[in-house]
Amino acid sequence: MPDQETKQESNLSEEESQQVKQHIHAGLSTSITFAEVVQIINSMLVKEVEERVSAMSEDELQKVLEDVKNLSEGSEGSEGSE
């Protein structure tokens, strides 16, 4: 499929191709709701987190887990002092 798109796109000049892309982008951006934007960004963030966690070594994962535990212990202590 990407080969077909590239082949079809190559029949257009660079300027014409850019105009088509801008037109499609404008149509998509005006028809998308804010909630959909939030969902898209959240999906991108979830994917990024998954990629980062899978790329971490065991030592890095343990360090992050310790940091998370320390943060949660710190926030529990500050809640009690209010």
Give Cα 79 to chain centroid, integer Å: 32
pTM for this prediction: 0.53
Residue 10 has pLDDT above 90, yes or no: no
Considering only 1-10, 12-21, 50-59, which range has the smallest mean pLDDT?
1-10
pLDDT band at 80 (very low <50, low <70, confident <90, very high): low
Cα 61–chain centre separation: 21
Q: Domain map of the chain by residue range?
A: 1-31, 34-82
Burial state string for 64-75 with b = 16 or more CB within 10 A and e = fewer than 16:
eeeeeeeeeeee
Dump pLDDT digits (tens) for 18-46.
999 999 999 888 888 999 999 999 999 99
C-alpha 69/C-alpha 34 separation (Å) is 34
Cα distance between residue 73 and residue 82, in whole Å: 15
